[in-house]
Amino acid sequence: MLSDREILENLKNGNLKIENFCDECMTPNGYDVRIDECLVDDIKTFNIAKNKFFIISTIEVLEFPKNMAGQIWLRTTYARKGIMISGGLIDAGFRGNLNIFLYNAGDEILMRKNERIAQVVFFKLEKEAEKDYSKRSGHYQNQTGIIK
């Protein structure tokens, strides 16, 4: 797992890219992504009723090199309110907005644009991927907004 220092070094040398980067979103070992759009039952809304599945897209556009992958973790602020995440792995070579799939098991909640929702942690691969995400499947490569 990369430390904040290593993440910033990779951003500075262009190995890793985060468009719409915000210094306040840096954590000791990751980067907090922020909400851009929120979709519930095919309706764009930030008001999430109890027992609802919803998707958010991030303000940030991330671009991973062939030697790095990431993982998405829900911020505990939301976990304590009953939000659950279907987190996952971000493949080496991925580029685009992230789509994060969530479920509200708690009370109705109001999400806000630009709020930090999840932390991305970065992992250096022992060896560079032979074929990165764009060459293996690449189905969501360069995605913008919410893709169902």
Nearest Cα residue to 36 out of 128, 123, 147: 147
As a three-state string, the secondary structure of 44-63 is ECCEECCCEEEEEEEEEEEE
Q: For residue 148, is pLDDT > 90?
A: no
Instruction: Return the pLDDT at 139.
Output: 87
- Measured between alpha carbons, how far is 118 from 99 in angstroms, rounded to an integer? 11
In this predicted structure, which of 5-9, 118-122, 128-132 has the lowest mean pLDDT? 128-132
Span 97-124, pLDDT tens digits: 999 999 999 999 999 999 999 999 999 9
Domains of the chain: 4-128 (2.70.40.10)
Average pLDDT, the chain: 96
- Where residue 14 falls (left for φ over 0; alpha for ψ -120 to 50; beta otherwise) is left
Nearest Cα residue to 52 out of 38, 69, 66: 38
Instruction: Work out the percent of the chain whose per-residue pLDDT is above 70.
Output: 100
Instruction: Return the pLDDT at 136.
Output: 87
Residue 24 neighbours by CB under 8 Å, 6+ apart: none
**Helix (H), strand (E) at residue 27:** strand 26-27
Instruction: Return the pLDDT at 88.
Output: 87
DSSP classification of residue 11: H
Yes or no: say if 34 and 115 are a contact pair by the CB < 8 Å rule: yes
Whether this prediction's pTM lies above 0.85 is answered by: yes
Q: For residue 96, is pLDDT > 90?
A: yes
What is the Cα Rg of the chain in Å?
A: 15
Span 25-69, pLDDT tens digits: 999 999 999 999 999 999 999 999 999 999 999 999 999 999 999
